[in-house]
Amino acid sequence: MTRTTKRIQIFDSTLRDGAQGEGISYSVTDKLNIVRALDDFKVDYIEAGNPASNPKDMAFFEKVTKEKLHHARLCAFGATHRKGLTADKDAGLKSLLDAGTPCVSIFGKTWDLHVEKILRATLEENLGLIYRTVKFMKDNGKEVIFDAEHFFDGFIRNEEYALRTLEAALSAGADLLCLCDTNGGTLPGQIKDIVEKATVRFPGAAIGIHCHNDTGCAVASSIAAVEAGAVQVQGTFVGTGERCGNADLSVIIPNLRFKMGYSCVGDDLTGLARTVRHICDISNMRVYNSKPYVGDSAFAHKGGMHIDGVNKVSASFEHIDPKEVGASRRFLMSEVSGRSTVMKKLETVAPDLSRDSPEVAKILETLKNMENNGYQFEAADASFELMALKTLGRFSPHFRPIIYRTSGEYPPPAGEFSASAILSLEVDGKEETTAAMGNGPVHALDNALRKALRVFYPELDVVRLSDYKVRVLSGAHATAAKVRVLIESTDGDIIWNTVGVGTDVVAASWEALCDSLEYILHLRRGNRQ
């Protein structure tokens, strides 16, 4: 890709628009941590919220303006001044000045329907509100971004008036005109056409784009706007926001950089995956496997032909090198994977084996038989490694389960756990019996297993389950159906996944739990002698 000299500004609204998404609630500490992460990633602007909206936002502004940012400019968000007041008497504008940010984002009405039905003003009154607010902020030394709210709906209904609102902001000194698809209902082709018309009407003016994802087109519409001349893209870093969310900057940024050759947030995007996961963690969200560039499935290959191609020429089935965004390639294990996949997975488990080794054929046969019985290893790499080692006769277990028993109570006693588990296991000829309570039999069993093993392996104190999934494999036998349990575990350093299958959900969970602890013990301690 040939690089252009054009630079696209990245404006992140995670802390304002993103915080309006369902299920999102940031503390002041959360917000400060997100600001630091975005600044480290070198975004140009961080819209930190509306200081007039609530006391928590004002407290945040008092703290964030003391942060020493290296790359980003902080931006406070607010509306044009209220009817019947002068700009200098408006409490909202005063709070914007008090926030102390070098930049402000002022939203104003551009859709005549909103002006007349929502704001209940005349069209001329609204133009005056826009002009006076922008001028007031410029007179107070602020960089001003005018957010043209509902611009595309307004343009489609009354083109001339929508453009006049931009003219009012520009004549008052606005530094950038951001065209907002606030309802998220405009398609990329319309976005591109309308942005082009705005750039023709205001040659030399800096134009931005702000899209919502109500048609699933926010990323595509943002890219279309850049093609039409926009120099700033607004969005949220992981796509959070009102209703269906905002344009996802973690997808837009690498598209601009790798697909279009534009400069944005510097040349190094190797921190992209890390930043996405960090912000998702703070937001109490999971990164979807299918998320472009950084999801677990973004560079995951399952078909044997695909895997063989990637091993020979990575570009044959990958649109970029995953290392460029800090991601990694994965080869998924399944009955369709073939010998190439198994060999790739065995590089760390048994590097001495060759493609034609009878041991490899044996592992393939075991894999196919287990998958036929309901196991799935593409999301359970740890269980696959243990299976391969056992098949090769190269694994010595770190503990031997003897017996377990679980019981539950309904309704549970007030304020107490609903289930208990008792178990016995053996390590080096020494038997340990223990019991534990939990929220349900699986939780109780998990607690009891860790309690018993910590006697021999204190390092398991830091191991915890981070995800637990149950899949019914067939409904033919109703409540006696076979289930597959997938468990994700972590010790705070690495994450690994294990699987268990059975007609008893507790037994399937027990299998996955035992594999989880065996795997980390094998990884940390190696094979037992």
Which of 12-16, 45-49, 127-131, 266-270 has the weakest average pLDDT? Answer: 266-270
Which of 10-19, 43-52, 487-496, 507-516 has the weakest average pLDDT? Answer: 487-496
Q: Is the pLDDT of residue 61 over 70?
A: yes
Say if CB 496 and CB 516 are below 8 A apart.
yes
Q: Is the pLDDT of residue 177 over 70?
A: yes
Virtual torsion, Cα 177, 268, 73, 68, nearest 10 deg: 180
Query: Residue 265 has which token pair?
Result: 């947030």
Model confidence band, residue 212 (pLDDT cutoffs 50, 70, 90) = very high
State the average pLDDT over residues 500-524.
94
Cβ within 8 Å of residue 360, ≥6 positions away: 339, 342, 343, 346, 353, 354
Closest CA to 506 of 389, 394, 405: 405
- The matching CATH number, chosen from 3.20.20.70, 3.40.50.300, 3.50.50.60, 3.40.50.11720, for 9-267 is 3.20.20.70
Angle at CA 32, nearest 5°, toward 31 and 33?
90
Percentage of residues of the chain with pLDDT beyond 90: 72
Model confidence band, residue 475 (pLDDT cutoffs 50, 70, 90) = low
Q: Is the pLDDT of residue 128 over 80?
A: yes
State the average pLDDT over residues 111-139.
97
Say if CB 215 and CB 184 are below 8 A apart.
yes
Q: What is the pLDDT of residues 383-413, one digit of tens each?
A: 999 999 999 999 999 999 999 999 988 888 7
Virtual torsion, Cα 4, 323, 306, 387, nearest 10 deg: -170
Model confidence band, residue 96 (pLDDT cutoffs 50, 70, 90) = very high
Angle at CA 448, nearest 5°, toward 446 and 453?
95
Alpha-carbon gap, residue 68 to 49, rounded angstroms: 18
State the average pLDDT over residues 127-152.
98
Instruction: Tell me the one-letter amino acid at 485.
Output: V
Burial tier of 79 (Cβ tally within 10 Å: 0-12, 13-18, 19+) = buried
Virtual torsion, Cα 279, 283, 288, 292, nearest 10 deg: -40
Residue 4: CB atoms within 10 A of its CB come to: 11
Alpha-carbon gap, residue 292 to 251, rounded angstroms: 6
Cβ within 8 Å of residue 371, ≥6 positions away: 334, 335, 377
Task: Give the pLDDT confidence score for residue 477 in this predicted structure.
Answer: 61
State the average pLDDT over residues 244-254.
98
Alpha-carbon gap, residue 172 to 134, rounded angstroms: 6
Closest CA to 326 of 266, 288, 269: 269
Task: Give the pLDDT confidence score for residue 334 in this predicted structure.
Answer: 59
Residue 215: CB atoms within 10 A of its CB come to: 17
Say if CB 454 and CB 461 are below 8 A apart.
yes
Alpha-carbon gap, residue 352 to 350, rounded angstroms: 5
State the average pLDDT over residues 370-385.
86
Q: What is the pLDDT of residues 330-370, one digit of tens each?
A: 777 655 556 767 777 787 788 888 888 888 888 888 888 88
Query: Residue 66 has which token pair?
Result: 């003391």
